[in-house]
Structure 1
C-alpha cells in the first residue's frame, strides 16, 4: 500500500503546483504576444513622411527572410530561457513552500503533541494560544475549552463513582452485619424477624439509591420519553399534591402562584424535576415553615419555575455544591429522607437536558431560592388561570 502524503507534503505540492501553473501561463502568454509582434510582416515598409514625399521602395526578399529568421531565433531563445527560469522558480517554490507549510502547520503539531501527552491521569496541560487571533488561535482556544470540560466532567465522574460506591456499600454492610449477628447464636423467631426488617430497610435504601442513579443517568443522556408539550404550572401543581401529606405533617404554609408556563420537553423528567424541588423544600424546611411555588413566562418567552423555602442558613460560597450528588452545600455528606441524596443533581441534569438554566440563591434568614428557566414551548399555552393560594398544613396546592 503506497504511503500517503502528510498534510505538509500536500500543502507543499499545492503551493508548488500553483507557482508552476502561474509560470506556465505567464510564459505562454508572453510567447504568444512576442510571436504576434515579431511575425507582423508586409511586402514593404509603410512609412508616412511629412511634406508629401513618396514612400520608400519595398525591401528585398532577402531582407524579409532574414527578419523572419531573427524572429524565429528570438522566440526559440525565449522558450529555452523561459523553461530554465520556470524550472528554477518551481524548485525554489517547492523549497519555500515546504518551509511555509511547516510554519503554517506548526500550531497544529503543537496541538497534536499536547493531545498525545494527555491521559486520564494528566489533563492539566493546555495548548498555548499565540498571537495573532487567527483561525489557529481560535482552534487552540476551542481545544483548551474542550479539555476544561473533559477534566471537569472526569473529576465529577470520579467523585460521583466514589460517592455512589460508598452509598451502596453502607446498606450492604448493614445487611451483612445483621445476618452475621443473627447467625452467631441460635436465633429465635423475634431475632429473625428483626433481622428481616433490617435487611428489608437496607435493601430498600439500596434500591432508592440505584433508582436515583438510573434516573440521573437517563436525565444526563436526555432519555426520558419523546418530546412533547408540557406546562410547568401543571407539573408543579402535581408535585404539591404528591407532597401534601408531608406538608401537613410538618405544618408548612404553602404559597402557590401558578401561571401558565408552556415548555417542550419530556414530561416524565419534568415531573421528577418539580417533584425533587418540592420534596427538597419540604424535607429541608423547619417545622411550621413556608414554601413558595410559582411559575410563569419571562418577557423573552422563557418559562420559569421557582421554589422558595425556609430552613437552615446556607453559605452562599458553597451553594453551587448543592447540585453535587450526596453532598451538602457545606461539603458534608447528605442523605435525604428518601435515602438517595440525588435530588438537586437530578434537577440539574433535567434542566441541562432541556437546555435550561438552574439558579440557587441562599436566603439571608435561612432557606433556599431555586429558580429554573427553560425554553418556552411552541404554540399558545393551555388555559390555566393564575391562582394564588395560602395553604396551612398541606392544604390546596394552588391549581
Structure 2
C-alpha cells in the first residue's frame, strides 16, 4: 500500500525524533558510566549510633568489599537510567507521531488546496484561483506561480476562442464571396442556354462569366496574400517606406487626380519583406482612394518616431463610428459587423494588419471627426540605419 505524503512526512519526523532521542540516551549512558567509575564512595559507620546496647558492632568492610559495593551501585544506577530513558523515549516517540501528523497536515494544507483547485478547473471554468496564504514562504510562492500559470492559460484559451470565432466568420464570409460569382456563372449559363441563344446572348454570358472569374481570382489572390502575411516574414531586407509610398502614389496617379493629395515622405527605414510591405502600402492607398468622396483629400506621410518607422494615411469620406473603424480590420466585415457589397473585397485592412503583425509592428485605425479614417502603421526601424543615425 502506497503511503500518502502526509504519512511519509510523519514517519520522517518520527524517525528523526527517535534517532535524536536514541543518540541522546546513548550519550547520557556513556557519560554517566564514565562519571560513576571516577566517583569515590564513602561509608560512615558510627559504632555509637542507634544500635541497641549489647548488639555486636558491625565489622567494617574490607577494601575488596567496598569495590564490590561500588560496582553494584554503578550497575543499579545505569540500569535505572536505561529503564527510565527507554520509557521517556517511548513517550516522546508517541508524542512525535501525533505532533508529526498534525504538523504534516498543516504544512501540506496549501498543497491540498492547490490540488483541489486544479481538480475543479476545466476549459470552461478557469476563474478559480489558489488562495495565497501569509506569511510569504515557499508555498506562497508556489501558489502565486500556479495562479500566474492559470492567468496565462485563461488568456490563451480566450485568445484561442477569439481566433476560432474569427476564423469561423472568415471562412463563412470567404465561402459567401466565392459562392456568389459561382452562382452568377451558373445562372448566366442556365438562362442563356435555355432555348436557342443568339451570338449576342452568348457574348453577354461570356462577359458575365469573365467578370465572375476575375472576382474569384481577386478573392483568391487576397486570401493567399493574407495567409502568406499571417505565416510570417521570410528573408528580411532593408526597405524604405518613403520610397514604397512614393512608388505606390505614382502607380495610382490616374486614380487620385480628383483628390487633393498631400505627401510628406521622409526616410523611414525598416527590415522586412519588400513584397509584403509594398502590398501593405498599396492596400492603404487603394482603400483611401476607394472609400473617399468626390473632391476629397488624401494625406500620406512617413518618418521616424521613437526609434520606429511610421506610416500615416488620412482620407476624407463618410463619417463612421469608432466601433465601425475597428470592425474594418476583420476580413469581409464592414460597418458594425455587417457585410456590405462594394467594389472592393473587404480584405485590404486585414492584409495590412497581418503584414504589420508579421513585421512585429502595430496598426491603429481611427475614425476622423469629419468623416474618413486615420490609419497609422508603426514598424521597428532597421537596426543598421538606426546605428548610422546614432553614429
Per-residue deviation, 1:178: 1.0
Q: Is the alpha carbon distance of 1:383 and 1:20 closer, same or farther for their aligned partners in structure 2, counting shifts above 3 Å?
A: same
Which structure 2 segments of 5+ residues have no match?
42-62, 134-142
Residue 337 of structure 2 aligns to a residue whose secondary structure is: coil
1:303-333 Cα shifts (integer Å, max 9, x gaps): 2111111111111233211101112234332
Aligned partners of 1:229, 1:364: CA distance in 2, in Å? 36
Which residue number corresponds to residue 392 of structure 1? none
- Determine if the alignment matches structure 1 residue 271 to structure 2 residue 278: yes
Residue 151 of structure 2 aligns to a residue whose secondary structure is: helix
Which residue number corresponds to residue 302 of structure 1? 308
The alignment covers a number of residue pairs equal to 356
**Aligned partners of 2:121 and 2:128 also within 8 Å:** no
Which residue number corresponds to residue 138 of structure 2? none
Higher radius of gyration, 1 or 2: 2
5 Å matches for 1:363-382? Answer: 363-380=368-385
Aligned partners of 2:328, 2:296: CA distance in 1, in Å? 21
Per-residue deviation, 1:290: 1.6
Q: Which structure carries more relative contact order (alpha carbon 8 Å, separation 6+)? A: 1
Aligned partners of 1:29, 1:264: CA distance in 2, in Å? 73
- Determine if the alignment matches structure 1 residue 324 to structure 2 residue 330: yes
Larger mean CA deviation between 12-21 and 145-154 belongs to 12-21
Aligned partners of 2:238, 2:116: CA distance in 1, in Å? 48
- Determine if the alignment matches structure 1 residue 194 to structure 2 residue 201: no
Aligned match of 2:241 in 232, 240, 248?
232
Per-residue deviation, 1:45: 3.5
Aligned partners of 1:258, 1:68: CA distance in 2, in Å? 107
Aligned partners of 1:10, 1:231: CA distance in 2, in Å? 66
Aligned partners of 1:153, 1:35: CA distance in 2, in Å? 76
Per-residue deviation, 1:139: 3.3
1:252-287 Cα shifts (integer Å, max 9, x gaps): 222222222233333332222222111111111123
- Determine if the alignment matches structure 1 residue 128 to structure 2 residue 128: yes
Aligned match of 1:212 in 215, 222, 244?
222
Per-residue deviation, 1:343: 0.8
Normalised to the residue count of structure 1, the TM-score between the two structures is 0.75
Aligned match of 2:38 in 7, 29, 44?
44
Which residue number corresponds to residue 395 of structure 1? none
Which residue number corresponds to residue 252 of structure 2? 243
Q: Is the alpha carbon distance of 1:132 and 1:316 closer, same or farther for their aligned partners in structure 2, counting shifts above 3 Å?
A: same
Residue 324 of structure 1 aligns to a residue whose secondary structure is: coil
Which residue number corresponds to residue 389 of structure 1? none
Q: Is the alpha carbon distance of 1:97 and 1:351 closer, same or farther for their aligned partners in structure 2, counting shifts above 3 Å?
A: farther
**Aligned partners of 2:117 and 2:130 also within 8 Å:** no
**Aligned partners of 2:18 and 2:93 also within 8 Å:** yes
Q: Is the alpha carbon distance of 1:29 and 1:156 closer, same or farther for their aligned partners in structure 2, counting shifts above 3 Å?
A: farther
Per-residue deviation, 1:110: 3.5
Aligned match of 1:19 in 4, 13, 16?
13
Which structure 1 segments of 5+ residues have no match?
48-56, 119-124, 385-399
- Determine if the alignment matches structure 1 residue 144 to structure 2 residue 149: no
1:339-361 Cα shifts (integer Å, max 9, x gaps): 42111111122222333222111
Normalised to the residue count of structure 2, the TM-score between the two structures is 0.76
Residue 358 of structure 1 aligns to a residue whose secondary structure is: strand
